Amino acid sequence: MKIVFLGTGSMQPTKERNVSSIYFNHESENILFDCGEGTQRQMRLKEISPTKITKIIVSHFHADHVLGLGGLLRTLEANEYNKTITIYGPKGVEKFVHNIIHSAYYGDSIKIKTIEIKPGIIINEEKFTVEAFQLDHSVPSFGFRLKEKDRRKINLEYLKKFELKQHPLLGELQKGKDIVWNDKKITAKKATNVVKGKIISIIFDTGYFNNIIKLAKDADLLISESTFSIEEKDKAREYKHLTAEDAAKIAKKSKAKKLILTHFSPRYKDISKLQKEAEKEFNSVECASDLMEINI
């Protein structure tokens, strides 16, 4: 699984940071989480072709999370994107997307499907799932848990005594099915090792609440908004955002392995302060920067 931070700022762009967008790639699947203004330019800078996008998930309809959608859809149209693009978003998604594509002259060749996000599994692909969790923000807002499905890795060492190497039957073992080879039964249990799927949790705009731990539980990677420093804790509470300390507490309580902070207020030129605040609570903290890439 690959993650690219396309925009790591909040509210309005700065010289250093564009507004919210995270690109997720898993084999042929390319999902955009949020699409703030300027996201397609960030993709160009990172040499990610917009036409590779298979799905768009909008966490909530605040301007800094969605206003790049119109330009991206127009670019898909101009590049003869011939698939249906699915846009997931909270209540109102259909109306907002309608307004977005009526903000300028568009053709009518692009096929858009909008899906209103409800808590639970919203995407169930062959190799991974995306689960949505309701957050607590000033407008309906969601966080997401991306879970790679467990898979079986062939134990080639074990198969040596059966003299079985490359063969289509290995695929059956990987599916967890027992096979027969040279009149001998080979069980999937013995011939394969289960590799646990990785978990990436993403916390978008939200105030702190106890149940948020569930979203991040045992995540291999927790990406969390961290709009404010603890010095602006009152502002964080008022506007329903997290401080860096909040994000770190969530990482700690949920036993996440690694925490990446993002969605910083434009007021912070130097975010090392936020990193230090988080490090007091949790030992594996990194601050995202625009176009940063993580492979997991």
Tell me the catalytic residues. Answer: 64
- Residue 10 or residue 201: which is nearer to a copy of itself going by CB? 10
Stretch that binds a copy of itself, among 11-19, 121-129, 143-151, 223-231 (CB under 8 A): 11-19
Distance (Å) of CA 82 to CA 26, 65, 79, 107, 281: 21, 25, 9, 13, 48
The distance of closest approach from Cβ of residue 90 to a copy of itself in the complex, given in angstroms and rounded to an integer, is: 11
Please, what is the minimum distance in Å from the beta carbon of residue 223 to a copy of itself?
Answer: 22
Phi, psi of 227 (to 5 degrees): -65, -40
Could you say which of 14, 54, 129, 275 contacts a copy of itself (CB under 8 A)? 14
Q: Of 13, 197, 237, 284, which one interacts with a copy of itself (CB under 8 A)?
A: 13
Q: Which CB atom, from 68 or from 143, has the smaller least distance to a copy of itself?
A: 68
Residue number with CB closer to a copy of itself (95 or 214):
95
Closest approach, Cβ 179 to a copy of itself, in A, equals: 51
**Burial degree of 7 (CB within 10 A; 0-12, 13-18, 19+):** buried
Interaction mask 55-74, a copy of itself, x per CB under 8 A: ------xxxxxxxxxxx--x
Q: Which residue's CB is nearer to a copy of itself, number 73 or number 216?
A: 73
**How many residues contact a copy of itself, by CB under 8 A?**
37
Is the Cβ of residue 48 or residue 199 nearer to a copy of itself in the bound state? 48
Q: Identify whether the C-beta of residue 228 lies closer than 8 Å to the C-beta of residue 271.
A: no
Q: Smallest gap, in angstroms, from Cβ of residue 39 to a copy of itself?
A: 9
Specify the residue, 114 or 254, whose C-beta has the smaller distance to a copy of itself.
114
The one-letter amino acid at 189:
K
Q: In this structure, which amino acid lies at residue 260?
A: I
**Phi then psi dihedrals of residue 72, to 5 deg:** -65, -45
Which positions from 124 to 163 touch a copy of itself by CB under 8 A, shown as an x/- string? ---------------x------------------------
Quick count: other Cβ atoms within 10 Å of Cβ 211? 10
Which tokens in the block code for residue 167? 């063969």
Q: Which among 195, 193, 211, 194 is positioned nearest to 203, based on CA atoms?
A: 211
Region of 96 (left: φ > 0; alpha: ψ -120 to 50; beta: rest) is alpha
- Measured in whole angstroms, the distance separating CA 51 from the mean position of its chain's CA atoms is 18
Site for a copy of itself in 32-51 (CB under 8 A): 37-38, 40-41, 44-45
Restricted to residues 72-111, the positions that interact with a copy of itself (CB under 8 A) are: 74-75, 78, 95-96, 99-100, 102-106
Give the type of residue at 71: G
The distance of closest approach from Cβ of residue 260 to a copy of itself in the complex, given in angstroms and rounded to an integer, is 23
For every residue of 139-198, DSSP letters joined together read: S--EEEEEEEPPEEEE-HHHHGGGT--S-THHHHHHTT--EEETTEEE-HHHHEEEEPPP
* Shortest reach from residue 160's CB to a copy of itself, in Å: 51
Measure the CA angle with vertex 38, ends 37 and 39; round to 5°.
95
Contact footprint for a copy of itself (CB under 8 A): 11-15, 18-19, 37-38, 40-41, 44-45, 61-71, 74-75, 78, 95-96, 99-100, 102-106, 139
